[in-house]
Chain A
Amino acid sequence: MPRAPEPVPVASNENTMSSTQVHHSTAAVRTENVTRHYPMGEGLIRAVDGVSLTIEPGEFVALLGQSGSGKSTLLNLLAGLDRPTSGSVVVHGRDLAKMSAEDLARYRRNDVGMVFQAFHLISSMTITENVELPMRFAEVDRAERAQRSRESLERVGLGKRLEHRPSQLSGGEQQRVSLARALANRPRLLLADEPTGNLDSRTGEGILNLIRDLSLSLGMTVVMVTHERALAERFAQRSIFLADGRLASEEVRA
């Protein structure tokens, strides 16, 4: 896969977008009546129950709600980690529900970056190796891998700690590594699941500032799950509230 040698990645990521798909939809994300039901004993849990929403390219959206409201399940559906029971999830013009497992893996590898509450770094690897890991799956050659992981880590302010292990870093720093890893394959969509949940409020704000700056400079769409309404209102352009797997309300920041 040829890649343009560009120092700063930009929104148009040619290698993941085929020209035929762009015409269908201009939205970054569009779900239509998407459901995700789990069998539980005799009954059925309707974790996501008929959600239709549209997210524009470059938008920073917060998904809010109580625990069990279905916000994480919805995020997993957008990430291609989970498949909907019914309905469609269209990201950059492609319906994830219709993709093969192999295509979904490729989608996660090239189109999406994920940040988790628990960081999910691999403790036996240095932070550089952690950031390089998704590029290994994408078969980026070694020289470019080293260069891009350094760039990513510099961008999140960890350029001087490349050979450290996650355990040698603070929580905030680990979340920055996780963010750098999410950016490694230059995704157009960043999904963050409670990225500040394990951090104190000042550090959490720092991370969200960073995410917002990256979103703006890279033209990246961001969907963030959080239960902290104050943070959502400060950083997200739009807050979507979920309750019992359904859309409850929506607030757009002025």
Chain B
Amino acid sequence: MTSYDLFDLAVRNLRQSKLRNGLTTVGISVGVASLVAMLSLGVGLQQLATRRLAGSGLFDTVFVTSRQDFRGFDREDDAKQPHPDQAPVLDEAARTKITHLPNVTEVEPEIRVMGEVMSNGETHFGFVTGLPMSARENEAFDNLKGKFFSNDNADEAILLMDFAKELDPKSPESLIGKDITLRYGERQALSSEQGSSGVAVGGSDNAPSSGDDYGFSVVRKQQPLRVVGLIDQEPYGGMRTVSRGRIFLPVRTTERLNMVQFTDMRSSLRGASGKTYMTLTVRVKNPAKVQSVQDAVNQMGFRTFSVLDATKSLRRFFTVLDLFLGIFGSLALAVATLAIINTLVMAVLERRREIGVMKAIGASDSDVKRLFFTEAGAMGFMGGVLGILLGLAIGKAINFGTAIYLTKRQLPPEPVWSMPPWLVGAAIVFSVVVSLVAGLYPAGRAARLDPVQTLKYE
């Protein structure tokens, strides 16, 4: 029999007992709907969590430190490696090398220095932090008052609201657009003559390659800055090794000002050549590439840190959650499967004579089997489509309900339920496959019917 005839006969047969087949189809659709609703809830919750975490800027970031610094950070790891003194330093050359690694979009030093802001004749102490332009995407800037830096080298500052209140307790917002003066320590390299005077720590005697080898001095400097914005919380931009930043400058500006950093003291002791970084913050194209970048940087001999391990356990959690939601949702579909089997077995009993006639006039066993399979598959398909629609309705209701709940608690409404397009296709295919499996027994039973017996008694 051709596929057209098979389908035509199957639909004709299904329409013969509209109520029974209709109810069975509705049963399948309820099963599919519950499965789809549950899985979509899992997907929605996962997206919600990912959205929250991606906004924190954690997932595409690798922090790089030299193993010479932060010794004892990971003693087990240290034991396996050569002595930290042998480890490379995080200098300009290393930064350039990391910048050229595949999938790296940005490498910025973490700059966090002490500074003082002069305002109305008073001085206010705060840590100054350099921010890359990409920090704009960070969720800390969701509630930015004013605007972001105009470029990465501008003489502009964004202040933490707490700090702004310290400067102007009455109307901190009025600071936006005003100029403030930042007082900071500038790092100035010493020449070899000065170095030999013994003020600074010297390098090796026989190969002085640059003035920096002889140490540096710290000179107090002032820099006028225009306040362009205010934020409520510090963006996650580094290891937060020292203290909360309260004054934010474009990262190039901080580098240009050559502010003296804590690590400068460390590297002067070491007598290494040139300027080194405490931490480099490496932004990766997407979270999936974090591991490969991390491996490459480790290969260079540096210590890296990312929250990839945290995402791994998060992903494991959602896989388990999806599994449980899926099992829960499948229960209804399992019941629907029994309904299909029941309906088709009834149909086989009812149509015994018809099956016998079909065989007598030339239908093969496989024709009969395929006919019942097609009927099961058609019910599964229709149940799948109906189930998707029903599932969508349930999802809308869930999102509507959560939105009301969140709004009542003064929280921004957020969807917790999301049906990905692949789930639509997968649910329909799954529904058809489950129906076909359910049709196995009835179809086999129909195919095995003995035409002589079925036609005998009238």
Chain A interface (Cβ < 8 Å from any Cβ of B): 76, 79, 81-82, 101-102, 105-106, 108-110, 114, 116-118, 120, 122, 124-125, 133-134, 136-139, 181-182, 185
CA distance A33 to B366 in the complex (A): 32
- Tell me which of B354, B362, B366 has the highest count of chain A C-beta atoms within 10 A of its own C-beta: B362
CA distance A106 to B356 in the complex (A): 15
Q: Which residues of the partner chain A approach B365 to less than 8 Å between Cβ atoms? A: 101-102, 105
CB pair A102–B358 under 8 Å, yes or no, is no
CB pair A102–B366 under 8 Å, yes or no, is yes
Nearest 6 CB-CB pairings of A with B = A109-B362, A105-B364, A118-B458, A134-B361, A137-B362, A136-B5
Given contacts A81-B452, A82-B452, A120-B353, contact A106 B364 (CB under 8 A): yes
CB pair A137–B360 under 8 Å, yes or no, is no
CB pair B362–A120 under 8 Å, yes or no, is no
CA distance A76 to B453 in the complex (A): 11
Interface residues on B, range: 20 to 34
B239 within 8 A of A: no
Residue ID in chain A nearest B360 by CB atoms: A114
Residue ID in chain B nearest A112 by CB atoms: B362
What distance in Å separates the Cβ of B254 from its nearest Cβ neighbour in chain A?
Answer: 81
Across chains A and B, the number of contacting residue pairs, with CB separation under 8 Å, is: 68
B367 within 8 A of A: yes
CB pair A81–B359 under 8 Å, yes or no, is yes
CA distance A108 to B364 in the complex (A): 9
CB pair B362–A106 under 8 Å, yes or no, is yes
19 A-B pairs besides A81-B455, A105-B362, A114-B361 with CB distance below 8 A are A79-B360, A102-B366, A105-B359, A105-B364, A114-B360, A116-B360, A116-B455, A117-B458, A120-B353, A120-B356, A122-B357, A124-B12, A124-B16, A125-B12, A133-B358, A137-B1, A137-B362, A137-B364, A182-B361
What distance in Å separates the Cβ of B446 from its nearest Cβ neighbour in chain A?
Answer: 14
CB pair B458–A122 under 8 Å, yes or no, is no
From A101, A106, A108, A110, B360 is in contact (CB under 8 Å) with: A108
Q: Which residues of the partner chain B approach A114 to less than 8 Å between Cβ atoms? A: 360-361
* Pairs across A and B, CB under 8 Å, 21 listed: A76-B452, A81-B360, A101-B364, A101-B365, A105-B362, A105-B363, A106-B364, A116-B455, A120-B353, A120-B356, A120-B357, A120-B360, A122-B354, A133-B358, A134-B361, A134-B362, A136-B5, A136-B9, A137-B1, A139-B1, A185-B362
CB pair A133–B361 under 8 Å, yes or no, is yes
CA distance A116 to B361 in the complex (A): 11
Residue ID in chain A nearest B357 by CB atoms: A120
B451 within 8 A of A: yes
CA distance A139 to B390 in the complex (A): 39
Q: Which residues of the partner chain A approach B206 to less than 8 Å between Cβ atoms? A: none
Residue ID in chain B nearest A108 by CB atoms: B362
CA distance A103 to B80 in the complex (A): 75
What distance in Å separates the Cβ of B403 from its nearest Cβ neighbour in chain A?
Answer: 50
Q: Which residues of the partner chain B approach A120 to less than 8 Å between Cβ atoms? A: 353, 356-357, 360, 455
CA distance A182 to B357 in the complex (A): 11
B174 within 8 A of A: no
Residue ID in chain A nearest B363 by CB atoms: A137
Chain B 360-391, CB-CB to A under 8 Å as 1, else 0, gives 11111111000000000000000000000000
CA distance A19 to B46 in the complex (A): 70
What distance in Å separates the Cβ of B272 from its nearest Cβ neighbour in chain A?
Answer: 86
Residue ID in chain B nearest A136 by CB atoms: B5
CA distance A36 to B1 in the complex (A): 31
Q: Which residues of the partner chain B approach A110 to less than 8 Å between Cβ atoms? A: 362
Q: Which residues of the partner chain B approach A137 to less than 8 Å between Cβ atoms? A: 1, 358, 361-364, 367
Residue ID in chain B nearest A114 by CB atoms: B360
B120 within 8 A of A: no
What distance in Å separates the Cβ of B374 from its nearest Cβ neighbour in chain A?
Answer: 13
Residue ID in chain A nearest B356 by CB atoms: A120
B171 within 8 A of A: no
Residue ID in chain B nearest A113 by CB atoms: B361
B241 within 8 A of A: no
Residue ID in chain B nearest A116 by CB atoms: B455
B2 within 8 A of A: yes
Interface residues of B in 326-365 (CB under 8 A from A): 353-354, 356-365
CA distance A122 to B363 in the complex (A): 14
Q: Which residues of the partner chain B approach A79 to less than 8 Å between Cβ atoms? A: 360
Q: Which residues of the partner chain B approach A182 to less than 8 Å between Cβ atoms? A: 361
What distance in Å separates the Cβ of B21 from its nearest Cβ neighbour in chain A?
Answer: 14
What distance in Å separates the Cβ of A124 from its nearest Cβ neighbour in chain B?
Answer: 5
Q: Which residues of the partner chain A approach B458 to less than 8 Å between Cβ atoms? A: 117-118
Interface residues of B in 401-458 (CB under 8 A from A): 451-452, 455, 458
- Tell me which of A110, A120, A134 has the highest count of chain B C-beta atoms within 10 A of its own C-beta: A120
What distance in Å separates the Cβ of B447 from its nearest Cβ neighbour in chain A?
Answer: 10
Q: Which residues of the partner chain A approach B1 to less than 8 Å between Cβ atoms? A: 136-137, 139
- Tell me which of B354, B364, B367 has the highest count of chain A C-beta atoms within 10 A of its own C-beta: B364
Q: Which residues of the partner chain B approach A101 to less than 8 Å between Cβ atoms? A: 364-365
What distance in Å separates the Cβ of B453 from its nearest Cβ neighbour in chain A?
Answer: 10
CB pair A138–B455 under 8 Å, yes or no, is no
